[in-house]
Structure 1
Amino acid sequence: MTHNEALAALDIAVQPVVEAVGVDVPPASPAPGQCWIVGAEPVGAWAGQAGTLAGWTASGWRFLPPGAGWTAWAKDSGLPARHDGSGWTLGVVSAARVEIGGVQVVSDRQAAIDTPDGGAFVDPEARAALTNVINALRAHGLIDP
């Protein structure tokens, strides 16, 4: 690999920003520096390059096979694309917890909460409000269904 080829590969691999994810047909008029994540059934100049990062350079297409943990920003969707070692996922963020301003706001999923039912002294409006809260927590995946 020549020095210039190494620099072209670095431009593609370091902090990649891609035009789109899962594209099978190379663009007709790419600009130098533009990159794409090649789809599962590429054709033309991208044939045989499924799942790679395709970057256009002054010397033509350069392809980099991703490794597990590679992340690129997809301009078309505004979402991160992450390679897990076998394929790309778009917009999926995995975390052990979420912090905002240094304060933990979301942690591991908690056990299911029973929906209120029965009881002679509970106001129906309060029961309905609690049911709505529990359903919202379930819908957000914060407690088991």
Structure 2
Amino acid sequence: MRLRKARITDVKGVHKLIMNTSADDGLVLPRSYNQLYSHLRDFFVIVDESREDEALGCCALSICWENLAEVRSLVVAREARGQGLGRKLVEACLSDAVTLGIYRVFALTNTPDFFRHMGFVEVSKDTLPQKVWSDCLNCPRFPDCDEIALHIEL
């Protein structure tokens, strides 16, 4: 397995990962092919090179504001869970944030313990800028969101 930046050839696999997870347990927002192509540079993937670079996991770092980014679309295929791949994907995003000079990163999640184990702390959603909520308007859970906001200072 190898962690790397996503490529054009990964879009269909990433879409499948996100849509299967979204449909199965609703832990991530669905993403259209258009959204994935438009934000491809935000994504990291973990691929299984023995299976023709099949995507086993993905995660994106989305820049929101001057000194704020979001970790989003974190998905690991069911058969690959429990191997630390999610942690590796988030660490890649955090490293990318530092490289870009962004030292505040947040996540909106229904699995806060995962992020807490990585050093994120819970914050009020009200502390995040309005721009963050643009995706919320397209979410099936809006306006009754049950996600928890967590952030980390790098």
Q: Which has the higher contact order (CA 8 A, sep 6+)?
A: 2
More helix by share: 2
Tell me the TM-score normalized by structure 2.
Answer: 0.23
Rg bigger for which structure? 1
